[in-house]
Amino acid sequence: MTLQEDPIMSSSTIADPITLEIIQSSLQSAADEMFLAMRRTAMSSIIYEVLDMGTGVLDASGELASSGAGIPAFVGVLDKAGKVIIETLAADDPPQPGDVYFTSDPYRGGVTHLNDIVVVMPVFSDGRVVAWTANIAHNSDVGGMAPGSASGDATEIFQEGLRIPPIKAIAAGEPVRAVFDLLELNSRMPDTLRGDLWAQIAAVRTGARRLEGVCDKYGADVFEAACAQYQDYGEQLSRAALADLPKGTFALTEEIDDGRVLDVKITISDDEFLVDLRDNPDQTEFPTNITRDAAMIPVQMLFKSVTDPGLIANGGTFRPITLLTRPGSVFDPKEPAPMGFYYDLLLPLYDLMWRCLAQEMPERLGAGHFASVCATLLSGTHPDTGQQYSIIEPQLGGWGATSGRDGNSAMFSGVHGETYNCPAEVNEAKNGLFVNRMELNTEPGGEGRHAGGRGIVMEYEIRSADGNATLAFTRSKFAPWAADGALDGSPNYCEIIRAGDGERERHSFVAGIDTQPGDVIRIVTGNGGGVGDPSERDPELVRQDVRDGLLSAERAFEVYGVDAAS
């Protein structure tokens, strides 16, 4: 029997398909295990509850071999860091077993903003690097001009924290003391930074150990073949789904809250998903630029959601994507443009592309959601313990209706995933403030045949004597968009209700304002957009909404023509 005739061994592969698949499932498990390890040991709630982090396995060349659970925005980030490390460091100084690298500079593989530190570790087998394990996480304070590092006042990246270029932080298992000393000295919260970095290190070590075990059993060559074939599989899944999408060039231009006009053109053909962002504003001195690498994130996410929304994603998945940007623009800025609030441009871009494609594929994409991180940063001194606290939270909001049903209420934005809100009981104990209410937003908006989901109303009552608040809400001027004749949703905003005189200030963006005990920060997040003419809504559902106090009887009559009393 020749090799070709053997059903298991074929000349084109060096292992049988089942073995390859077993290795591929190990890649996935390794990424998931890293995710769990990080979540369990992180110091900051933005990592362990908000899950502002991602994990993945890269192949020897730095391509994404598998990604872990968590937040979809970080799935396609780690390969950039891996490649920069391979190009800049590994060439001159070959990695040793036990090495660990860091990078955070968005212009050098860090992708997002300086708070996000990427940690990368080589995996060895047969004396060579066969893979890398990597993760990224939001570190609470990395220096810069304001607590928490990102500042609305920053005009250059130098003001947003310590820039970490690709650097070896652990050499053959031995921590490079100078690196850690430098990082900690530059942080306002050195203990937290240290704890979080070690959680990241523990995670890459966990993944590397797991993969080395796989290589020991099957050999480095078979392992590498499995990585390569897995990416080919990812590509096949994408291309098969791409074939089912409507073809053509779709374009949309939209003004966002800050007055900038964003533009996207998406060309879908049989073998390419081309996104053209060249016709967009010049980079700005405000910290809402995003690097080209970061602009790729929402492109990848939306592509994945409209092609194969399963949980498997790797480098191959995204091969059909082409992204065009213009150097010097907000989506491809030149140094030293600031980007601390990168997500306030990333989400509008994601939403813009979503809306652009929703017109073409309403069965896959519902109406607009509240589409904002609604970043809420509150800090101060815990009045009972005397310790500093720092809340860095995204907010829940309403999602748009879909072609078949009402939208989800109170979910995190589309760039979040397995992200959790902070329970009031935990918030009150941990941060020394009161959460006076956390309820659904019953403002009008989002009415339609299928109604948008509800945003939330949340009130933080400050107890700290030296409180400070930064609130960054988008989609405050333009409410979430509706589809097919429904009504738009309602806007995101926040109010500061001052202690004493009860004076109310309404904002969408405030940076670093002082708060007094008794001040109430009131968060209101938008209801999602509706789908379809409100007159076509099932009257029974309208009556249920009235009964549930989500809709007034007057509005039920006015918008739906339903007399709820009947």
Contacts with other proteins in 537-556 (CB under 8 A)? Answer: 544, 547-550
Nearer CB in complex with other proteins: 229/280: 229
Q: Which of 31, 71, 129, 524 binds other proteins (CB under 8 A)?
A: 71
Torsion angle (degrees, nearest 10) of CA 231, 234, 239, 244: 180
**Which residue has tokens 């970080």?**
74
Beta carbon of residue 35, minimum distance to other proteins (angstroms, whole number)? 11
Q: Which of 191, 216, 244, 271 binds other proteins (CB under 8 A)?
A: 191
- Rounded to an integer, what distance in angstroms lies between the CA atom of residue 112 and that of residue 117? 9
Q: Is 51 left (phi over 0), alpha (psi -120 to 50) or beta?
A: left
Beta carbon of residue 330, minimum distance to other proteins (angstroms, whole number)? 25
Nearer CB in complex with other proteins: 154/211: 211
Site for other proteins in 193-222 (CB under 8 A): 194-195, 198-199, 201-202, 205-206, 210
Q: Is the dihedral of CA 503, 509, 515, 517 positive or negative?
A: positive
Dihedral pair phi/psi, residue 159, rounded to 5°: -85, 0
- Rounded to an integer, what distance in angstroms lies between the CA atom of residue 307 and that of residue 245? 8
Site map (CB under 8 A) of other proteins, residues 249-278, x = contact:
------------------------------
DSSP for residue 414: T
Burial letters for 165-201: b for 16+ Cβ neighbours within 10 Å, e otherwise?
A: bbbbbbeeeeebeebbeebeebbbbeebbbbbbbbbb
Site map (CB under 8 A) of other proteins, residues 385-404, x = contact:
-----------x-----x--
Nearer CB in complex with other proteins: 110/207: 207
**22 is a contact residue toward other proteins (CB under 8 A):** yes
Q: Which of 178, 182, 240, 251 binds other proteins (CB under 8 A)?
A: 240
**443 is a contact residue toward other proteins (CB under 8 A):** no
Q: Which of 283, 291, 409, 468 binds other proteins (CB under 8 A)?
A: 409
Region of 76-84, 244-252, 435-443, 485-493 interacting with other proteins (CB under 8 A): 435-443
Torsion angle (degrees, nearest 10) of CA 484, 485, 486, 487: 130
Assess contact for 249 and 265: CB atoms under 8 A.
yes
Q: Residues near 539 by Cβ (< 8 Å), separated by ≥ 6?
A: 560, 562
Burial letters for 290-322: b for 16+ Cβ neighbours within 10 Å, e otherwise?
A: bbbbbbbbbbbbbbbebbbeeebbbbbbbbbbe
Q: Residues near 503 by Cβ (< 8 Å), separated by ≥ 6?
A: 497
Site map (CB under 8 A) of other proteins, residues 299-318, x = contact:
--x--xx---xxx-x-----
- Rounded to an integer, what distance in angstroms lies between the CA atom of residue 8 and that of residue 6? 5
Q: Find, among 165, 159, 141, 134, the residue nearest to 27 by Cα.
A: 134
Beta carbon of residue 254, minimum distance to other proteins (angstroms, whole number)? 19
**297 is a contact residue toward other proteins (CB under 8 A):** no
Beta carbon of residue 40, minimum distance to other proteins (angstroms, whole number)? 4
Beta carbon of residue 279, minimum distance to other proteins (angstroms, whole number)? 26
Q: Which of 412, 460, 481, 509 binds other proteins (CB under 8 A)?
A: 412
Assess contact for 21 and 15: CB atoms under 8 A.
no
Nearer CB in complex with other proteins: 429/465: 429
Instruction: Name the token pair of 60.
Output: 């020897």
Site for other proteins in 105-134 (CB under 8 A): none
Report how many residues bind other proteins under the rule CB under 8 A: 86
Beta carbon of residue 480, minimum distance to other proteins (angstroms, whole number)? 14
Beta strands in 64-127 (DSSP E): 64-67, 100-103, 116-125
Amino acid at 163: R
- Rounded to an integer, what distance in angstroms lies between the CA atom of residue 229 and that of residue 77? 21
Site for other proteins in 472-531 (CB under 8 A): none
**139 is a contact residue toward other proteins (CB under 8 A):** no
Nearer CB in complex with other proteins: 143/207: 207
Q: Which of 31, 48, 89, 187 binds other proteins (CB under 8 A)?
A: 48
Q: Which of 414, 445, 452, 532 binds other proteins (CB under 8 A)?
A: 414
Q: Which of 15, 27, 31, 39 binds other proteins (CB under 8 A)?
A: 39
**238 is a contact residue toward other proteins (CB under 8 A):** no
Q: Which of 172, 182, 426, 465 binds other proteins (CB under 8 A)?
A: 426
Nearer CB in complex with other proteins: 185/429: 429
Q: Find, among 512, 508, 458, the residue nearest to 348 by Cα.
A: 508
Assess contact for 348 and 277: CB atoms under 8 A.
no
Nearer CB in complex with other proteins: 48/341: 48
Site for other proteins in 331-360 (CB under 8 A): none
Beta carbon of residue 562, minimum distance to other proteins (angstroms, whole number)? 17
Nearer CB in complex with other proteins: 17/94: 17
Region of 64-72, 84-92, 470-478, 533-541 interacting with other proteins (CB under 8 A): 64-72
Assess contact for 306 and 365: CB atoms under 8 A.
yes
**CA 208 to each of CA 78, 128, 212, 460, 509: distance values in angstroms, whole numbers, following the listed order:** 15, 13, 6, 42, 42
Dihedral pair phi/psi, residue 355, rounded to 5°: -65, -40
Beta carbon of residue 85, minimum distance to other proteins (angstroms, whole number)? 21
**366 is a contact residue toward other proteins (CB under 8 A):** yes
